Amino acid sequence: MKVRDAQKLRDFLLIIGFVIMLSGCIWGETLFKIGAVVSLSCFIPHFLYNKCPHCKKQLGRNEGEFCQHCGGKISYSH
């Protein structure tokens, strides 16, 4: 999985989980818990795929074109 795809999946899971959590505040505690699990699942693609393709270090919140550790170019295209 490419870095950009992992970042999009992370953001999608976080937003959807947050929406489910908000609806759980209205319709029940179970829905809130499901939303929390979906939101926390955003960490899976973040820690598995948000790495520099050259030095394999975590990029963190870096969404630039170059790795902050080794300076290698991060390919975001397919």
Per-residue pLDDT, 64 = 81
**pLDDT value for 78:** 45
13 close to 41: Cβ distance less than 8 angstroms: yes
Domain spans in the chain, listed from the N-terminal domain onward: 3-49
Provide the whole-model pTM: 0.74
Tokens 């908000």 sit at which residue? 22
Q: What is the pLDDT along the chain (78 residues), one digit of tens a residue?
A: 788 888 889 999 999 999 999 998 888 889 999 999 999 999 998 888 888 888 989 888 777 888 889 988 887 654
Question: What is the rounded distance in angstroms from the CA atom of residue 37 to the CA atom of residue 31?
Answer: 10
pLDDT of residue 2: 81
DSSP state of 54: T
Q: Which pLDDT does position 40 carry in this prediction?
A: 94
